[in-house]
A and B are shown apart, each in its own frame.
Chain A
Amino acid sequence: MTTSVETATGVKKTMVLNMGPQHPSTHGVLRILLELDGETVLKAVPDVGYLHTGIEKSCEDKTYSQATTLTDRMDYLNPLGNNLVYALAVEKLLGLEVPKRAQYIRVMMVELQRISSHLVWLGTHAIDLGAMSVFLYCFREREEILKLFELFAGQRMMTSYIRIGGVALEPPAGWRDRVGKFLGMMPSRIDEYEALLTENRIWMARTKGVGVIKLEDAIAYSMTGPTLRAAGLAYDNRKVFPYSSYEEFDFSVPTRTDSDCFARYMLRIAEMRESLKIVKQAMEKISDSGPIKSEAAGIIPPQREKMKTEMEALIYHFKIFTEGFSPAPGEAYVTIESPRGELGCFIASDGSAKPLRCHFRSPSFINLQALPMIVEGQIIADVVACIGTIDIVLGDVDR
């Protein structure tokens, strides 16, 4: 890679510093070339692609149901959200209705995922700024969420729990107690993090007034998610373009106006509390019995019992797993609110069993391109705070 940083002025002596790709505070494999005048950043050039695995190309060579497992592996802190956006896009192509019960289960799972993602963000961001203990507390609670995922899907991270047409498995016995226990515990734990950070003088000095993004710049750079809401605009896909029955849930979209690192921290804390509310409502809405998948012959695998008694079910089962299914030619674009912002999935079908094109609008990728605008003119120690605060996941950036 020969990325060059052009010297801004010929008179002053500047230094070019290579940050990353193995620097711990770049949250993965992000490389930034910084041109410095003393400690002030004159120019920043992010260099991405170290984690590029060609997932979009691989999707074109898989059937629609096979590609589900690849989506988990993009944004590895939000695998359920990736499953959801992919499933919604394919369902839109097929014109498939998902049963309400499955929709509520989906909502509950992605909101738990949002909390877990924000916990990782909070822990790693705090460790970047020198608050070691917050990381340990955050990962303690994240572990509880991962155990819930293991309970539901048999997997902690790459669950592939949300499938085309519904969810993979019936909720396990005793899930209400386990999720209820988590909901009971969590509010006081969030208070604990706030006790450690919100009025901590070092934390405030490192985050207040640092990394300010003007609202018009944020929109021009297509920034979405907490970054945009901390700049004062309540743009949340769950409210503006509701999906998966979000319009039936009662929650608010927190906003801040300061648009600095501290505002984004406060906003994510508030979002965790809102997510807890949504999980609680979803638990009440999920009935004890009912379908978890839609019924569509030739698209959704039939129930195991039916395969033993019905000839057609056995044929469909065989066809779905060998040939796959073929949606009508056309395109679908779906956006959802991931913990990092607007996550989109574009699928073009040519009428065959494999997608002609499958593209993901990853919020990390698009938010990251505004990094030079944020850090130029700041001092080098604040670069770390700025990278942390836009909450990038490199798997999501590079795909």
Chain B
Amino acid sequence: MAENVNQNASAVVEHLRAWNSKAVEEVIEFHGETTIVVHHTLLRSVALECRDALQFNLLSDATCVDRYPVEPRFELQYHLTSIPNRTKIRLRTRVPGDQPNVDSLVPVWLGAGWLEREIFDLMGINFNDHPDLRRILLPDDWKGHPLRKDYPVEGFRDIPATYLPGLKK
């Protein structure tokens, strides 16, 4: 079963390379998972090709990893599933920290809508052409993006002196 999944994934890589020689920057195989790294300007066209030509009809998940202080610090991860071919791949794109802009995938999969809102809310990535890019989990007036590595786990608020007897007045 697991071998089958891999077999299909390598066919996906070959197809994408034949489709556009610049599309695939890097292919990472790890624990039987195939990660295809694409440039962030090509993300939407690669996603469209995956959906239309390769039958990746289900966007399983989208999330982001912050590799601060490494630049480009953000790594967007899109987990695609092809229900007809029983294949899973991961599309990855690296986004620089000073201009975290990337094309939204809502035109490709409607299900990307809330997933991208979540990434916008917690990581502060801007998605171009997203129909409704608002905070989703946090209040509208929240400052900062908590899942970034330079955001402390305790948050930024001052700890009231009553909780630190003898330390703060």
Within 8 A of B (CB), among A50-88: 52, 54, 56-58, 60-61
Is the beta-carbon distance between A95 and B31 smaller than 8 angstroms? yes
A-B contact count (CB 8 A): 106
The answer to whether A359 and B63 have CB atoms under 8 Å apart is yes
Closest residue on chain B to residue A344 by CB atoms: B61
* Contact of A344 with B60 at beta-carbon distance under 8 Å, contacts A58-B153, A366-B115 already known: yes
Contacts A49-B136, A235-B83, A333-B33 given; does A222 touch B109 at CB 8 Å: yes
Q: Is the CB of A222 within 8 A of B60?
A: yes
**How far, in Å, is A230 (CB) from chain B's closest CB?**
16
A109 at interface by CB-CB < 8 Å: no
Taken together as a complex, chains A and B put the C-alpha atoms of A172 and B119 apart, in Å, by 43
CA distance A61 to B146 in the complex (A): 13
Q: Which residues of A contact B60 (CB under 8 A)?
A: 222, 335, 342, 344, 361
Contacts A57-B147, A60-B153, A331-B33 given: A365-B114 contact, CB under 8 Å? yes
Contact string against A for B residues 78-91, beta-carbon threshold 8 Å, 1 for contact and 0 otherwise: 01000100101010
Bound together, the chains give a CA A369 to CA B112 distance in angstroms of 10
Residues of A within 8 A of B66 (CB): 357
Residue B111 lies at the interface, judged by CB distance under 8 Å to chain A: yes
Question: Which of B33, B60, B86 has the most CB atoms of chain A within a 10 A radius of its CB?
Answer: B60
Q: Tell me how many residues of B have a C-beta within 8 Å of chain A.
A: 41
* In contact, A1 and B137 (Cβ under 8 angstroms): no
B158 at the interface (CB under 8 A from A): no
Q: List 23 A-B contacts (CB under 8 A).
A: A1-B140, A48-B136, A49-B135, A52-B137, A58-B153, A95-B31, A219-B57, A219-B83, A220-B110, A222-B58, A235-B83, A241-B5, A242-B1, A332-B30, A332-B33, A333-B88, A333-B90, A346-B79, A365-B118, A368-B114, A369-B111, A369-B113, A398-B137
Whether, in the assembled complex, A36 has its beta carbon less than 8 Å from a beta carbon of chain B, the answer is no
Q: How far is the CA of A235 from the CA of B83 in the complex (A)?
A: 7
Asked whether any CB of chain B lies closer than 8 Å to the CB of A134, the reply is no
A331 & B30 in contact (Cβ 8 Å cutoff): yes
Q: Is the CB of A49 within 8 A of B61?
A: no
Asked if A187 is at the interface of the complex by the 8 Å CB criterion, the answer is no
B138 surroundings in chain A (CB, below 8 A):
49, 52
CB-CB < 8 A to A3: which residues of B? 134
Task: State the 9 A-B residue pairs at the shortest beta-carbon distance, nearest first.
Answer: A222-B111, A361-B61, A49-B137, A359-B63, A369-B114, A52-B137, A357-B65, A220-B110, A330-B30
Given contacts A95-B31, A344-B61, are A220 and B113 in contact (CB under 8 A)? no
Contact with B along A243-261 (1 / 0, CB 8 A): 0000100000000000000
Contacts of B93 in A (CB 8 A): none
Q: Considering only CB atoms, which chain A residue lies closest to B139 in the complex?
A: A1
Quick one: closest B residue to A366, CB to CB?
A: B111
| Residues in B whose Cβ lies below 8 Å from that of A331 | 30, 33, 35, 65, 77, 90
Given known pairs A49-B137, A49-B139, the reply for A219 and B58 (CB within 8 Å) is yes
Q: A57-B147, A222-B60, A399-B137 are known contacts; what are 9 more A-B pairs with Cβ within 8 Å?
A: A92-B31, A95-B31, A222-B112, A235-B58, A331-B90, A335-B60, A342-B60, A356-B67, A365-B118
- Interface membership of A93, Cβ < 8 A: yes
Report whether B61 and A241 are in contact in the complex, using a CB–CB cutoff of 8 Å. Answer: no
Contacts of B90 in A (CB 8 A): 331, 333
Interface residues of B in 31-56 (CB under 8 A from A): 31, 33, 35
Question: Judging by beta carbons under 8 Å apart, are B1 and A247 in contact?
Answer: yes
Tell yes or no: B16 within 8 A of A by CB. no
Considering the complex, which residues of chain B in the window 96-151 have a beta carbon less than 8 Å from any beta carbon of chain A?
109-115, 118, 122, 134-140, 146-147
Q: Which residues of B contact A61 (CB under 8 A)?
A: 153
Across the interface, A357 reaches (CB within 8 A) one of B59, B63, B88, B135, namely: B63
Query: Which chain A residues numbered 204 to 233 have a C-beta less than 8 Å away from chain B?
Result: 217, 219-224, 233
- How far, in angstroms, from A54 to B138 measured CA to CA in the complex? 10
**Please, which residues of chain A bring their CB within 8 A of the CB of B77?**
331, 333, 346
A108 touches B (CB below 8 Å):
no
Check B86–A241 contact: CB distance below 8 A: yes
Chain A residue nearest in CB terms to B113: A369
Contact A93 B31 (CB under 8 A): yes
* B146 x A57 contact (CB < 8 A): yes
B165 to chain A, nearest CB (A): 25
- CA of A58 to CA of B112 in the docked complex: distance in angstroms? 25
Closest to B90 in A: A333
What is the CA–CA distance of A357 and B68 in the complex, to the nearest angstrom?
Answer: 12
The 0/1 profile, CB within 8 Å of B marked 1, for residues 357-384 of chain A is 1010100011011000000000000000
Measured in the bound complex, the distance between the Cα atoms of B33 and A155 in whole Å is 35
State whether B63 touches A54 (Cβ < 8 A). Answer: no
Residues of chain A within 8 A of B88, CB atoms compared: 241, 333
Residues of chain A with a CB closer than 8 A to B134's CB: 3
Q: How far is the CA of A182 from the CA of B65 in the complex (A)?
A: 44
Instruction: Report the minimal beta-carbon distance from B24 to chain A, rounded to whole angstroms.
Output: 18
